[in-house]
Structure 1
Amino acid sequence: MTGRGAWVAYVGPFRFPWGEPGSRRVFGLAQSIAATGTDVVVVSGESGPTTPAAVTGTSGSGTVWHVGAGERPAGGANVVSKAFQMVVGLGERTVRWLDEQPSRPSCVVVYGGGAQYMARVGRWCRRNGVAVVADVVEWYAPHQLPGGALGPPHLSAKLALHHYYPRCQGVIAISSLLEHHYRGRGRRVLRVPPTLDVLDVKTGGQAIRAEVSPLNVVYFGTPGRKDLLTPIIRAADAVARTTRLTLSVYGPSIEQVRGLLGDAQLPPSVRVPGRVPQQDVEEIVREADFSILVRPSERFTHAGFPTKFVESMACGTPVIANLTSDIGQYLKDGRQGLVCVDHSSDEIQRVLRRAAVLPRPQREEMRLAARVTAESFFDYRRFADPLAAFLGSLPGRR
């Protein structure tokens, strides 16, 4: 397919189209670009498919294709070979794939990979006169990555953020913090929050139909890196002693959750189903009364933007959250959900008690407002024209 017309390469060592939060980010942006007639080839880190295959679920005159460059180590590889491929050799296979194509892309969008990956892809783009764009979604704190401040992953991420991304022709930033940072470095920047096909997401679940039932709150995520699950569990336990409430925790195992609680037994009100396939998340969130998201107010939480916030709003499920990143632009207290003024367990208790006594009509209004907000701000179609104009304005674009 790469022999006909203009096309954009969207590259990185991520899994696609499922497998990690970044998968949804990449697919949403690729859909936006394709919606205005430009084909997009997502070159992921997986080993296949070996030739571009069309991705289902796209609409518009352009097509999203997927091919695997094999940047991710094979499952049976030993530790040394994995480390070599992910640190020393990262980016080689992507560049090789780009070289093999009969025509050059109009631009290359890079998601993840760190400094080594960005350096290799950037050199290829300069050599071939192709504009390169960094899709920047994180500003990692040292404790979020293996090895801490002096570990190779953090040093690589830091070098990419400070050296390689500011040298790209453009930056797509997921948050206002990142937008302002790279504008200050003189870059062309377009801010795009997490997006998805909101119109394809079903709304309405059991929660909106139930007359009398326990308050059903769900949490999705990986606690410890960003989210504060411990105060959520403690708050839910305290509220459940006097109010009918169930907190379902998806993502971590029972052992991991117990470890957060000092190896104590789980409270009766807390369920830990563990990890579920990404494809099942939508139905689970849709059936809940609220999703909950609480994070510390630090630079890394203000730089990113939680995909699960967008997913919950798209399902019409109100969100309980404190206002990190740009969440406050979309979550108004009592409108699309409920706002915690801080991330303490006492504050979460207060908000959960408030949620438990909300009359059904108000909860239904919140569900409707959440969905309307998602359609207005997070649907991939909303960013089709802005992305086309942004990518078309880049110097060096073919």
Structure 2
Amino acid sequence: MTKGTILYIGGFELPDNNAAAHRVFGVAKALRVIGYEVVLIGVSKGPLETIEQGRREIQGFDTWSLPYPQSTKDWIEHVSSIDALSTIGGHYERVTTVILYNYPAMALSRAMLYCRRRRIKCLCDCTEWYGMPRGLSLSAVAKAVDTVVRMRILQKRTDGVICISSYLQRYYESQTATVLVPPLVDLDEEKWRSGAVQSESAGKTFVYSGSPGRDKDRLDVVVESLATLDESLSYTFKVLGVTQAEYLGYYPEHREVLIRLGQRVIFLGRVPHSESLTHVRFADFTVFIRQANRANNAGFPTKFVESTACGTPVITTETSDLGRYVHSGENGFLVCSDADELGGLLADIIKGEAVLDHGIDSRVFDYRSHVEGIRAFLATLDLSGGMNV
């Protein structure tokens, strides 16, 4: 006998095609331990002719995937419709709660009203707060307006917000119920234990795994720091998630730098998630640099969570809540976003002059470690209501 059904809806690509999907599975597993049946309703870029075609069981959860919007008409419907809630929700009895993951403002407003009329709690899972997009195109302006309305008005009026960072929790806690939940993993999954044999690369191995863009992760600072190292030092820097051509599209001025670094820097492009974890697991350090801005402080880097779960220490900047988890010189290193400073640290690590004092607590982001916090949050809400959607 469950405590009721929770519908978890958003733009996550099941089963594991984006960071959002990994997050919702972690939170959903914690909710299942507490006693709820959790239904995941995400999106798929594959062909789907009917809603039923997108239904399947994944890791013991009933999941649904809706077609990813392609045309302008699709996008208008995506940001305004709550058909997923009303149609799919009708398959389940006693829906007590709906969790909306970074939901568009217009659809969020309609979902809030829909839930209120049915005595269903409406929660938001908030994992980002991006700034103004570049350009003045119609889509850019629409996205900016959507972000302002969602973040500054609507989410404050929901029954509660699941916050990925303390930055977001501080912003919402005076307006509604909140709980701090970083990205979560399930360490019992095989992907955290299996993998190929350890790399035979000479010297230290550093790795970056992600989608850097031009502004999110300053991969250019890492490359510039490597350019400061003495050529006698032995190391390899593996870059997963972006090809060399894509990197040079962002930083064409680094063409000669990469030629000089040669096989010390290896771009592997996009690889399956399990393969990326193998590279992270057998690296000496994960390295990524971020600027301290609202977008980076409001979010939380999944790559940090995955590296920690793999037992691989991280070299990074102090953004978001990373200072809570990285004690510089003990279980990782916190640096400034300065190529010379980072280069000096990397040189000391390669030469064996910078050594960590402690190991990595790989279970800190396991979902089981966060069950009680989520349970306490739900206890502040009255989930005794709910009805058939």
> Is the TM value for this pair above 0.5?
yes
- Secondary structure of 2:11 counterpart: coil
Residue 80 of structure 1 is matched in structure 2 by 72
Alignment correspondent of 1:196:
185
1:162 maps onto 2:156 in alignment? no
TM superposition shift of 1:204: 9.8
The answer on 1:354 being equivalent to 2:351 is: no
Instruction: State the structure with bigger RCO (CA 8 A, min sep 6), 1 or 2.
Output: 2
Structure 1 stretch 43-52 or stretch 379-388: which is displaced more?
A: 43-52
Amino acid in structure 1 at the alignment position of 2:169 = E
State the match for 1:97 in structure 2.
88
1:135-214 → structure 2 map (5 Å cutoff) = 135-143=125-133, 147=137, 150-184=140-174, 186-200=175-189, 201-202=192-193, 213-214=202-203
SS in 2 for 1:14: strand
Instruction: Provide closer, same or farther for how the CA distance between residues 32 and 84 of structure 1 changes in structure 2, counting only shifts above 3 A.
Output: same
Closer, same or farther: CA 349–94 of 1 in aligned 2, 3 Å: same
**1:94 and 1:197, CA in 2 relative to 1: closer, same or farther beyond 3 A?**
same
Structure 1 residues 280 and 91: alpha-carbon distance in aligned structure 2, compared to 1, 3 A threshold: farther
Shift of 1:302: 1.0
Of stretches 296-305 and 138-147 in structure 1, the one that deviates more from structure 2 is 138-147
Paired residue type of 2:371:
A
In structure 1, runs of 5+ residues without a counterpart are 57-62
Following superposition, the deviation at residue 152 of structure 1 comes to 1.7
Residue-pair matches, total? 372
Do the aligned residues in 1 keep the contact of 2:202 with 2:236 (CA within 8 Å)?
Answer: no
Task: List gaps (5 residues or longer) in structure 2.
Answer: none
How far, CA to CA, are the matches of 1:222 and 1:394 in structure 2?
A: 37
Q: Provide the secondary structure at the position in 2 that maps to 1:161.
A: helix
Corresponding residue of 2:23: 25
Query: Which residue in the other structure is 1:34 paired with?
Result: 32
TM-score by length of 2: 0.87
Other-structure match for 2:222: 232
**Residues in 1 aligned to 2:186 and 2:157: alpha-carbon distance in whole angstroms:** 32
Partner of 2:10: 12
| Post-superposition CA distance 1:305-362 (Å, at most 9, x none) | 101101001111110011111101111112221221x1111121122112212279x4
Matched residues in 2 for 1:32 and 1:124: separation? 26
Matched, 1:326 2:318: no
Equivalent in 271, 274, 277 of residue 272 of structure 2: 277
Q: Does 1:54 align with 2:77?
A: no
Matched with 1:59 is none
Provide the rounded CA distance (Å) in 2 between the counterparts of 1:136 and 1:147.
Answer: 26
- Structure 2 matches for 1:119-134, cutoff 5 A? 119-134=109-124
Answer yes or no: is the 8 Å Cα contact 1:54–1:64 preserved in 2: yes
Cα separation, partners in 2 of 1:204 and 1:20, compared to 1, 3 Å? closer
CA contact (8 A) 2:101 2:126 kept: yes
Cα offsets for 1:242-262 (capped at 9, x unmatched): 411211111122222112332
Is the partner of 2:16 in helix, strand or coil? coil
Task: After TM superposition, list the pairs within 5 Å mapping 1:200-349 onto structure 2.
Answer: 200=189, 201-202=192-193, 213-223=202-212, 224-239=214-229, 241-262=231-252, 264-265=255-256, 266=258, 267-268=261-262, 269-340=264-335, 342-349=336-343
Deviation at 1:12, TM superposition (A): 1.0
Per-residue CA distance 1:160-195 (angstroms, 9 max, x = gap): 1111110111111111111111013x2111101111
